[in-house]
């Protein structure tokens, strides 16, 4: 599920083209194929490692709160944090 608030933020950033039509489950992904795996919280790193122990060196934890259940004003702050981290990551490649 992709939240309406996330869709709205992406529209405001003119980034809707990067939004997938649906969320892919972890089971649908071949994690070994990825160069980098970004997770928002440490607990998600553990989930990835359970599925792909060899992926440990590929995982980056951003320590960003999931905005899904937050009020709109807090979610916007989180979206801006994510945007900054994406720009940093893009600049480092």
What would the pLDDT profile of 44-93 be if each residue is shown by its tens digit?
999 999 999 999 999 999 999 888 778 888 888 999 999 999 999 998 76
As beta bridge partners, residue 61 has: 39
Q: Please state, as a whole number, how many other Cβ atoms lie within 10 Å of the Cβ of residue 86.
A: 14
Long-range pairs of 34-41 with CB within 8 A, sequence gap ≥ 24: 34/58, 36/60, 36/89, 38/62, 38/85, 38/89, 40/64, 40/65, 40/66, 41/65, 41/66
Domain 28-92: assigned CATH number: 3.40.50.2300
For residue 71 the two structure tokens come to: 């009020």
What would the pLDDT profile of 19-47 be if each residue is shown by its tens digit?
888 788 888 899 999 999 999 999 999 99
What pTM did the predictor assign? 0.80
Instruction: Note whether 61 and 36 are within 8 A (CB).
Output: no
Q: How far apart are CA 56 and CA 14, in angstroms?
A: 33
């Amino acid at each position: 599920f992709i939240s309406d608030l996330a869709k709205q933020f992406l529209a405001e950033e003119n980034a809707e083209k990067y939004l997938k039509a649906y969320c892919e489950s972890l089971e649908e992904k071949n994690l070994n194929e990825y160069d980098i795996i970004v997770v928002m919280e440490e607990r998600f790193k553990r989930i990835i490692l359970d599925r792909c122990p060899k992926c440990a060196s590929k995982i980056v934890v951003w320590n960003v709160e999931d905005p899904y259940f937050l009020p709109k004003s807090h979610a916007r702050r989180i979206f801006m944090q994510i945007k900054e981290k994406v720009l940093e990551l893009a600049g480092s490649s």
